[in-house]
Amino acid sequence: MIKYIIICSIILFVFLIINPVQAEDFDKAGTTGFVFLEIPVTARSMAMGEAGITLPDAQAEGLFLNPALVAYTQSKFSINLTYSEWYVETSHQALGLTYQIPGVGTLGLQFIYFDFGEIQKTRNLYPNRGEFGEYFDMGTYTAGAFATGLTYSRRLTDKFSFGTTFKYVRETIDIEHADNIIMDIGFYYNTGFRSLRIGAFLKDFGLEAKYVNEKFKMPQQLKFGLSYDLLGGLESPTHVTFLAEAIHPNDAAERVHFGMEAILMDLVIFRGGYKLGYDDENLSLGAGLRLNIMNKTAGIDVAYMNHDYLDTTLRYSFSIDF
């Protein structure tokens, strides 16, 4: 009972810090910067409707899902690589590394890069006359964004863990840029009631950043989630897990993510997910393989996510533990 009180108090405290009572509802879209941080990183999470903050078998993938999960990394080293051709000729890549130190905890290092590609650069020929329609072609310019972070995660008991990540983020458009230092903090708890697991994750918390002369907020998200094994358990070669998460972003209305994962004979994996609260995204699907290569555990995952107005996108992840 005491543990439940502690966890609920922590969650309530974090919630009150970032979510002061607001007197009116309004559309918050477009009020934050560094929106590339909102893109789901790994194929496993994307396939399950972006759910995953309560999966203790996440290994290095936990760096992007919930830093508290990193404490449950089973191997000395764990690596996760992800790549995706995102919408409108952009691309998204990520790398996560973890290192377990017995008696101390688990350290992690992450890199995320988003490439906007080449963009046409023009100049208005009559800027002082209020006339539009005639432009001078100045070629192209590039734009991109990246984040790099250091994580520390530790088990406080055999069922409860916490983790925190400090990240440096930078976004560049032509010769201008903006940067900031932000943090993630997460908690995970195995309730002991059958296979029920709960978690909380505060993502991308930080002060305002400045681009040229304009200030903007970071795309903070507060997530609460649970997972439950419908068949078998995480240690079983064959098991089915259900996940649900509630998300409170500071630039959109509240959202809910649902996910399902079925692992067969510790080899073949099928996943599905559905998201509520989005205007143009909902269904996601995915599959994966778990392999044993020279006594090292490896995984290959692919995820599909639909979009009502843009081309669908695929995400690929590769992981290895040793």
The full set of domains in the chain, from first to last, is 26-127+138-321 (2.40.160.60)
In degrees rounded to 5, what are phi and psi of residue 185? -145, 135
For residue 124, the model assigns a pLDDT of: 67
In the predicted model, is pLDDT for residue 16 greater than 50?
no
- What is the pLDDT at residue 134? 67
Contacts of 139 (CB under 8 A, 6+ apart): 120, 121
User: In Å, what is the CA distance from 245 to each residue of 61, 91, 221, 255, 278?
Assistant: 17, 26, 12, 8, 14
What amino acid is encoded at 41 in this protein?
V
Pairing of strands 283-293, 268-276: antiparallel
Average pLDDT over residues 174-186: 92
Report whether pLDDT(318) > 50: yes
> Per-residue pLDDT tens for 133-172?
566 667 777 889 999 999 999 999 999 999 999 999 999 9
Q: What is the pLDDT of residue 129?
A: 57
pLDDT digits 0-9 by tens, 203-242: 999 999 888 788 889 999 999 999 999 999 988 999 999 9
The residues, ordered by sequence, that sit 6+ positions from 187 with a Cβ below 8 Å of its Cβ are 7, 10, 11, 68, 160, 161, 162, 199, 200, 201
| CB within 8 Å of 112: residues ≥ 6 apart | 36, 37, 41, 64, 92, 93, 94, 146, 147, 148
Average pLDDT, the chain: 87
Q: Which tens digits make up the pLDDT trace of 66-89?
A: 999 999 998 999 999 999 988 777
Name the 3-class secondary structure at 272. Answer: strand
* Residue whose pair of structure tokens reads 């208005």 in the numeric block: 124
Distance from C-alpha of 268 to C-alpha of 290, rounded to nearest angstrom: 7
Give the predicted TM-score (pTM) of the model.
0.88
Torsion of CA 223, 224, 228, 234, to 10 degrees: 50
Query: Mean per-residue pLDDT for 260-275?
Result: 97
